[in-house]
């Protein structure tokens, strides 16, 4: 998480008189704008997790910006307003925003990896790998074997037919998602 001093060039570190180069201020402002845009791009449930704390005016400005049309002049001006409010916020608040954004992004990455592993498992089951069913039952004994085999066989028939109906393909994914705990490696 970059601090305000991280945006300074090595020759621009503030002296005792407080002088900061204009380029360093611009880098810092650009970073704050990027953080603000990342906050605005969050889903509603993720946005509610952002710790605005005493920055109620910043939260209100973000809520207004989220209602504006994309690629509009009003949105551009509102983003600049959010940026100016972030400049007046404490460095600790900015660090909290950045930490929460990183946590949200990390959660999305791990969720996507989990879904990819479930998709891979589903494709292996449909390909006819009976050992995969046995190992799945060994790691997850609470799964209803008969229902799993039924859905797998229907998904195989579905894959072999020429129809575009993918009902059991999706149903198998939902069944695996709700019943299988895959170890992340």
Domains of the chain by start residue, with CATH: 4-89 (no CATH), 109-179 (1.10.60.30)
Amino acid 184: pLDDT: 47
Block residue for tokens 């307003």 = 81
The model's pTM is: 0.64
Amino acid 13: pLDDT: 56
Amino acid 162: pLDDT: 74
Amino acid 96: pLDDT: 92
Amino acid 6: pLDDT: 57
151: which residues sit within 8 A by CB, 6+ positions away?
168, 171, 172, 175
112: which residues sit within 8 A by CB, 6+ positions away?
none
- Positions of the chain with pLDDT under 50: 184-185
37: which residues sit within 8 A by CB, 6+ positions away?
79
């Amino acid at each position: 998480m970059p601090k305000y001093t991280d945006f300074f060039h090595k020759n621009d570190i503030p002296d005792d008189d407080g002088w900061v180069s204009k380029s360093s201020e611009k880098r810092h402002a650009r970073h704050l704008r990027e953080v603000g845009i990342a906050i605005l791009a969050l889903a509603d449930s993720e946005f509610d997790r952002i710790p605005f704390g005493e920055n109620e005016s910043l939260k209100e400005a973000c809520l207004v910006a989220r209602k504006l049309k994309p690629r509009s002049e009003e949105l551009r001006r509102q983003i600049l307003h959010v940026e100016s409010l972030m400049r007046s916020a404490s460095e600790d608040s900015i660090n909290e925003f950045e930490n929460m954004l990183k946590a949200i992004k990390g959660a999305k990455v791990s969720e996507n990896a989990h879904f990819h592993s479930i998709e891979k498992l589903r494709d292996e089951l449909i390909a006819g790998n009976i050992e995969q069913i046995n190992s799945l039952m060994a790691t997850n004994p609470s799964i209803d074997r008969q229902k799993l085999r039924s859905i797998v066989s229907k998904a195989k028939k579905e894959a072999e037919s020429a129809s575009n109906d993918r009902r059991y393909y999706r149903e198998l994914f939902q069944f695996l998602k709700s019943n299988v705990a895959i170890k992340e490696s």
